[in-house]
Copies of this chain bind each other. A is one copy, B any other.
Amino acid sequence: MTIELATTVERIAAVIDDDPLAAVVHLRAHGDLVGPCEVAARVRSHRLTADEPPVMGGADAGPTPVEHALVALGSCWVMTLAFWASKLGVRVDTCRVVVNGQLDVRGFLGLPSGVRPGCTAVGLEVTLGGPETAETYGELVGIVDEHCPVRDIFTGSTPVTSSVRLV
């Protein structure tokens, strides 16, 4: 598949150039606990399920939350590549990614260990197909690593606040 998003990117850039505040987007996701550890989630018109496998007390009705985070990372990396390949005029015919994440559940369970609750390591294995040189694709991968929003959420530090209402 040849990726043709350049027009979209240029159009968005022109809008933002006129009004920088248009660059700020507000996203929202909803989640309800509907089983021992099953969560029914919604984003706009899209519905998703998160659950744990039976060994963790769930019914495996969907990926675990950390697996959802790996899907977010992998899909974001692939989309960022599609956008930047188009913007730079680099042809990409196929793009596939495998995301491997390692987690020590002692952090989540509060067991003595000193490990963090989140992933201790994450690796992206990308397979790219197309007619460009290895050097061109190497440069493209560096640019994608630098601009991928969810990769930045993983590698950087994002402030998260919690507010609670009792009913």
Contact = CB atoms under 8 A, between A and B. Distances in A.
Interface of A: 1, 3-5, 8-9, 12-13, 16-17, 20, 23-37, 39, 41, 43-44, 46, 48, 50, 52, 55-57, 62-84, 87, 92, 94-111, 113, 116-129, 134, 137-138, 141, 143-167
A12 to B, nearest CB: 7
Given A31-B77, A52-B79, 10 more contacts: A5-B57, A29-B98, A33-B95, A41-B74, A68-B69, A109-B147, A126-B164, A137-B164, A144-B162, A156-B157
Contacts of A66: 27, 72, 76, 149-150, 153
A159 B26 CA distance: 27
A97 to B, nearest CB: 5
